[in-house]
Amino acid sequence: MHLDWRPVALDDGPPISTSVTAAETQRLQELGKDADVLEIGSAFGYSAVAFGLVGARVTAVDAREWVPLDTFLGALDAYGVRAQVHAVAQSSQSALPMLVDEGRAFDLIFIDGDHTAPVVESDVIWSLKLLREGGTLAIHDFNEPCCCPDVGPTVFRLLGEPDEIVNTMAVYYRNKIVGEQRPEVFVPSVTGRIEPKVPTGFWGTVQPDEHP
């Protein structure tokens, strides 16, 4: 499934450029309602605003190499959610270890940042360290092999089949990731050493047209 960037308005507010679909937005808002949310990759602010509108407390990590911070903050102001969003203008490779050191934990982590394989792997590994017991990991562009070919195979290698797929977004529940139901998946150790194992199967068997 290929996603185009286009302007989308939330409620009666001004449009914000995004590639997140309406179905993905609805699921993210269901998962993020009144929750502590970590967003990795914020772009123009669409998903941060969507979370803010349902009462989430959002930590938004973005290196701001593409969209200026002022543009992001302007979107928050336009929707009246700026007080609920803490913007961290750093790369995820820098910010996520810092959040771990601070002892932070989140109910929902939404990964939609750098889509190259090494960064996706880093984001997943550090996110599992930050995900609260019973929390949820949502990864955008999992099922978008056209423009983001590294995301799906990298995530599948680390975590196996998603518990849900909503358009291009894969959803994993932490208790299943680290529990007996998915024993082939790595668990970050207290020392930070990661030993991922490759699950059987191949991500390419999940075809985009199976999840319209």
What pLDDT, in 10s, does the model give residues 113-145? 988 999 999 999 999 999 999 999 999 999 776
pLDDT at 196: 37
Question: Does domain 21-196 correspond to CATH entry 3.40.50.150?
Answer: yes
pLDDT at 181: 40
Sequence ranges of the domains in the chain? 21-196
pLDDT > 70? residue 202: no
Exposed, middle or buried: residue 171 (CB in 10 Å: 0-12, 13-18, 19+)? Answer: buried
Query: Which carries the bigger pLDDT value, residue 128 or residue 192?
Result: 128
Q: 15-33 burial, b if ≥16 CB within 10 A, otherwise e?
A: ebebbbbeebbebbbebbe
Q: Per-residue confidence at 109, pLDDT binned at 50, 70, 90?
A: very high
pLDDT at 1: 55
Q: Whose structure tokens read 């394989």?
A: 117
Pair 39, 112: CB distance under 8 Å: yes
pLDDT at 203: 31
Predicted TM-score (pTM) of the model is: 0.84
pLDDT average, residue stretch 173-201: 47
pLDDT > 60? residue 208: no
Instruction: Give per-residue pLDDT as tens, 49-94.
Output: 999 999 999 999 999 998 999 999 999 999 999 999 999 999 999 9
pLDDT average, residue stretch 175-185: 55
At 43, the amino acid letter reads A
Alpha helices for the chain (secondary structure H): 22-32, 46-53, 69-79, 92-101, 117-130, 151-159, 174-177
Write down the mean pLDDT value for the chain. Answer: 84
